[in-house]
Structure 1
Amino acid sequence: MTDPISFTSATPRFGLPNLFVAQAQKEFTVNEALARLDGLLHPAIVAEADVPPAAPDEGQAWLVGAQPIGDWADHPGAIALWQAQNWLFVEPTPGMSVYDLAAACVARYDGIWQRAATIAEPAGGPIEDIQARTAINQLITALVGAGILPAV
């Protein structure tokens, strides 16, 4: 027979709180876990900022910048979720992606948050091939529309 599994107080990846036998007020633990899941299921951030917004809407998520102040001071690079009139902070893990609504593109975390660079449209050159330029422009438009590249 195998030994029973011993759980820590939170999950390892996103710090979701675990329940314990005979725990008082389990609803607080469950509600915090659900609030984090709500913000992380398909994360879309309003923008990246160092200063918390003065009046965030319930459920909004923000990416905390590199030089945060105020309520965000100790959480550079974290995702700040506004839930129940409080900030919940989630530390990103490598490979995590969020959709940045302000920049209209995807940001991926690999030690730091990264976004795809803007690609310049083709122009000039000694030989112009209108079909090649049209195909490249269509490819750039498709990548911007998919949120892979930022809008120009």
Structure 2
Amino acid sequence: MEQTARFQIPLLAPGQVQKELTHNEALERIAMLLCPIVEGPPQAEPPEDPEIGNCYLIEEAALGDWQGEGGSIACFTAGGWRFIAPTEGLSVTDKSSREIFQWRSGGWEAGIARCREVRIDGQNVLRGRQPAIPDPAGGTVVDEQCRAAVAAVLEGLRAHGLIG
């Protein structure tokens, strides 16, 4: 059966008998990918009593009905479990935590935002990492409290990766 390269969605063939089966399978897979919402973080075993339409992320060491489907998205349908192998960059939302999981380099990752800059109300508040700033040193008048405060600010900026 012909299918799409990216998500293996079945395609109709000329003169195909029972086209509705292929068409319905394609719709099931499209429904899983249209706005992918999962019930939680990756798990190894299917739930005991899944509801039709609920989707899950599968851990690599999957068990039971999910064995051999590690890393996939599993969705429970009227016809049983359907699986989608993710492609690089695919994003899903975890309904329970509202976190976004992304498929990166062969695994699901959460809590990592990838961007070049952050703007709030059109104001750029965060850009790429800036060069290192040295700790305060020298001077003719040394204010230890001020130096300690500046050093703490610099350490915070370094800890967050904003400066070298």
1:56 paired with 2:63, answer no
Superposition deviation, residue 103 in structure 1: 3.0
Whole-Å separation in 1 of the counterparts to 2:61 and 2:149: 47
TM-score by length of 1: 0.70
Q: CA RMSD in A?
A: 1.8
Q: Which secondary structure state, in structure 1, belongs to the residue aligned with residue 109 of structure 2?
A: strand
Q: How does 1:11-26 map to 2 (within 5 A)?
A: 11-26=4-19
Structure 1 residue identity aligned to 2:65:
D
Bigger relative contact order, structure 1 or 2, given CA contacts below 8 A and separation 6+? Answer: 1
Alignment partner of 2:110 out of 104, 109, 115: 115
Bigger Cα Rg: 2
Alignment partner of 2:66 out of 68, 72, 91: 72
Runs of 4+ more than 2 Å apart: none
2:85 aligns with 91
| Identity score, percent | 35
Whole-Å separation in 2 of the counterparts to 1:75 and 1:11: 19
Superposition deviation, residue 49 in structure 1: 1.2
Structure 1: unaligned runs, 5 residues or longer: 1-7, 118-125, 133-152
Confirm or deny: 8 A CA contact 1:67 1:76 kept in the other structure: yes
Whole-Å separation in 1 of the counterparts to 2:78 and 2:72: 18
Whole-Å separation in 1 of the counterparts to 2:49 and 2:149: 55
Whole-Å separation in 1 of the counterparts to 2:21 and 2:46: 25
Superposition deviation, residue 104 in structure 1: 2.2
Superposition deviation, residue 85 in structure 1: 3.7
Structure 2: unaligned runs, 5 residues or longer: 113-147, 154-164
2:129 aligns with none
Q: Deviations over 1:31-72 (max 9, x none)?
A: 010011111101010022111011111111100112110110
The alignment of Structure 1 onto Structure 2 pairs a total of residues equal to 114
